[in-house]
Amino acid sequence: MTENLDLFSAESQGQKAQDAINAGVPGSVTSKVAALRAQLWQWAHEYYVLDAPTVPDGEYDRVYQQLEALEGAYPALVTPDSPTQRVIGAVLDGLTPVRHAVPMLSIQTETDNEATGAMAFDQRVRKELGLDASAAAIEYVAEPKFDGLAMNLRYENGRLVQATTRGDGEVGEDVTHNIRTIRQIPLSLPADRNVPPVVEVRGEVHMAKADLEKLNARQQAAGAKTFANPRNAAAGSVRQLDSSIAAQRPLSFFAYGLGEITPPEQGGPDFGTHYAMLQTLRSWGFPVAPQVALARGASELVAFHQRIGAERANLPYEIDGVVYKVNSLALQRRLGFKSREPRWAVAHKYPAQEMPTLMEAIDVQVGRTGKLTPVARLAPVQVGGVVVTNATLSNLFDIRKKGVRVGDQVIVRRAGDVIPEVVGRVPGERPVYVPNFRMPRTCPICASAVVREKGEANHRCTGGLFCGAQRKEAILHFAHRRAMDIEGLGDKLVDQLVDGQVVRVLPDLYRLGLSSLAALDRMAEKSAQNVLAALEKSKSTTLQRFLFGLGIRNVGESTARDLVKHFGKLDAIMDASVEELLQVKDVGPVVADSIHTFFAQPHNREVVEQLRACGVHWEEGEPVEKAPQILAGLTVVLTGTLPTLGRDVAKDMLEAAGAKVSGSVSKKTSYVVAGAEAGSKLAKAEELGVPVLDEAGMLALLRGEQPG
């Protein structure tokens, strides 16, 4: 979307300047507005097209606000292609039909394997051109086939005047009001790049995968319709009557061709190849897919198809195939069209990503964190080149929203290596009544109670310390350095201990012997001794660390500390009612319910008692009234390496004094404590004017002294 620094022709700029003078606008203001617009267009081009911004968002906003203020003071300066006019908010009565000057024809589509499809296309082209086997290989342009909405952008004298959907190929719909909101699409073209008087640029409006996820999250939070895929989201956004709605949706654009254009004999460009035309479009400020490549002969088309197919799952946007086009425009003209399809191009699609099949049952899986996930058991179906027999249904609300039941014909989607998912049911009458699926009340693995916290969509098993599905996660969390700090008990060792049925519950860790550890893969006797020593050392801990190590949902380090300060003893915490838990600082209904539910499970209480019996101990005290904390109300950020204190120790000291220790710097940060090799956080603090302390300054602060 590079509107060049010369936004308009000299003639049109002169007319605008004269209009401004006639309206009493000072010449200095007119010049300032032109300069601000040019700067904003350049920055927008770097951000939205090149993906290489050169200024922070704050600087862009500052300049934008200057322009907005000047245009507000001098309305005569406002033009349709000003950066401030991207979103007009016009609401139309309906979309106006527009007949295309040059029809937007479709391309023949093939779904053969990569070798067969490419070779068949190359052979057809050679045959049509009368080339024998001895003739040189034909040069093609190969590009991704986007799963979006085809668009025709008409520019007259360098300015966008109309944007039209494909429609039926002959007649589309005018969606100019919405297309103007897409920041990758230029509103005007550079005056110094030989742009013809009339040019129609054709391409695909699409939505990135990540942008679709964010949009659906916002839609769901607002109770609005979510979109099944990026194409539906793009089409639904472009065809809105209210441009302010489209402006809120993150649409993108890739150019891939031309419609009507001023002919060379009347001053238009004389392109020799399709590839050269794409490079010109890029120079005019249009995004062109970075994967576009030249390919000589069928073998290079096959290689392109395979390469893009391998990259497909990791691309930021959806594609459903690749497109091959003869590069020479002269050869394109010789080949011409067959019915309503060009002979010089073909779309080569990848295997279907969505297919219908029978949903035979719904099972429930329990994840490492206790989340229960419904899984559809399917009649085997090939989707995206892979046979799929099960697919995720996310949660109970997902099932309700999609309206699927056992025995339905459902649509299954698979993209790359992503876990297959059920998109929805195939419309039709059910032959018999089938009840709605319900989540189990007890965990299918350990029989502990299943709960769903208020405001959450997911159901969870409450047997965190006992449940076999959560065993590995529970052990790793228990061994964390901020919990029991069991050095050497990492992922690989835990995998072996659990998979080999050596450790079933946490207390089994303290029953390990040298022989059982040394017998594991890649575990020498010395390493086994080190792990046993770390386990023995961990038996002497603090109640705060132990409580955090239990992995109670919603109970982090600070909540564990507050619980210990309030109750003093573990038994008091375990026996506390929800009402009593709500008396603890910063403990709300959700956290209180999590704690109460956890200790209400006999399995979890049994594990705690067994850990005590294994020798795990800590000093307990009585609940004390909280003394005034010297740093209460302050927010501190730690960065870099301190000379004598570890980061964890410094964090504990600050929190004990009442400070909140944050991981990011903002205007609300009270102090940044910086050590050696401090990085971006220190720079951010200096930029915002946040006071920076060294270790000595932090210690002075803790003593109640004014840091120097």
From residue 658, alpha-carbon distances to 420, 482, 693 in Å are 48, 19, 18
Q: Which residues, in sequence order, are bridge partners of residue 409?
A: 358
3-state helix, strand, coil in the chain (%, to 5): 40, 20, 40
b/e 277-293 (16+ beta carbons within 10 angstroms → b): bbebbeebbbbbbebbb
List the catalytic residue out of 16, 145, 325, 402: 145
Token couple for 657: 């004094």
Helix (H, G, I), strand (E, B) or coil at 61: helix
Spatial separation of the C-alpha atoms in residues 304 and 310, rounded to whole Å:
10
From residue 444, alpha-carbon distances to 367, 440, 495, 657 in Å are 11, 8, 22, 45
The question of whether 145 is a catalytic residue gets the answer yes
For residues 291 and 204, is the Cβ–Cβ distance under 8 A? no
For residues 446 and 468, is the Cβ–Cβ distance under 8 A? yes
b/e 359-386 (16+ beta carbons within 10 angstroms → b): beebebebeebbbbbbbbebeebebbee
How buried is 486 (Cβ within 10 angstroms: 0-12 exposed, 13-18 middle, 19+ buried)? buried
Residue carrying the six token digits 């406002």:
78
Token couple for 544: 């705060």
Q: Where are the alpha helices (DSSP H) in 522-568?
A: 525-538, 543-549, 557-567
**Strands annotated E in 384-456:** 386-392, 409-413, 421-425, 450-451
For residues 390 and 379, is the Cβ–Cβ distance under 8 A? no
The catalytic site residues sit at 145
